[in-house]
Amino acid sequence: MAILPKQVKIVEVGPRDGLQNEKESVPAAVKTELVNRLSGAGFRNIEAAAFVSPKWVPQMATSADVMAAIDRRPGTIYSALTPNMQGFDAALAARADEVVIFGSASEAFSQKNINCSIAESIARFDSVAQAAKQHGLRLRGSISCAFGCPYQGEVSPESVADVVRRMRDLGCDEIDIADTIGVATARQTQTVMERAAREFSIDALAGHFHDTYGQGLANIYASLEVGISIYHSSVAGLGGCPYAKGATGNIATEDVLYMMEGLGIETGIDLDIVADAGQFISQFLGRKSASRAGNALAAKRAG
């Protein structure tokens, strides 16, 4: 039987990755409230903003307002997605603790969405990476379509390893392996994670799973078995990928926390507070939370 990590870091991505796809505008005050509720729950890392063109992601147009208004919890890293130097400068002005760059492990996805090769897309981040280091900011790399692509189908572990190497060489402190369209299975997950760990410290690799086929928790457990100890999740299961047709939400944070508690793995996060935050944002959006654990806890408290 595999020895699982004794503790894990959960990166909460709901305020950015979770909300970016919402068609109706979510006011900055609501986003701020959500971030504050989540930081109050004990998260050490919250993806709070994206400094991208509002033309492409209108929901993130209020990122500077949110970053200015949040109550910053000491010890919590507030991350921002930065696609270019303009985004980096905005993130720096907004006092982001970590900037996030991104690339695809799928050549077809890269060409279809940003009209350039994987190599070209990563090379474009060189100036952002250098600026992050100069200003003492953490740099995180996120690899999309690491298990499958809506255009080319399966993605090989070698393709993932190639992007991991490129991001490592840029100086990334942490690298996310993301199942953007939620097609990964447990054994495939282990194969990809083990291959990535040959290029970059396993302690700084993160799993980012979507639940399109209901395999998110299984893939997290499979990752735990090979020693991955950082996971991304989204409160109430918010999110998807605006550029990947058919991709449903991220794995719900409440469900991940419930599983970790059951396994005796420390997260430092209060599940009840997260469940309340999930109900808060779901009620604002006018729909039921996608978290089974969150809904079960809410029903239990309601009697």
160 closest CA partner among 188, 120, 186: 188
Dihedral of alpha carbons 196, 182, 54, 287, sign? negative
Q: Is 241 a catalytic residue?
A: yes
Give yes or no for a contact between 12 and 235, defined as CB atoms under 8 angstroms apart. Answer: yes
Alpha helix positions (H), the chain? 28-41, 63-69, 85-93, 107-114, 118-123, 126-134, 157-170, 186-196, 216-225, 253-263, 271-285, 292-302
Write phi, then psi, for 47 (nearest 5 degrees).
-85, 105
Strand partners, 95: none
Task: Report the distance separating Cα 169 and Cα 172, nearest Å.
Answer: 7
Catalytic residue among 145, 149, 172, 241: 241
In angstroms, what CA-CA distances link 146 with 159, 189, 239, 247, 280?
A: 8, 9, 18, 14, 32
Instruction: State the catalytic residues.
Output: 241
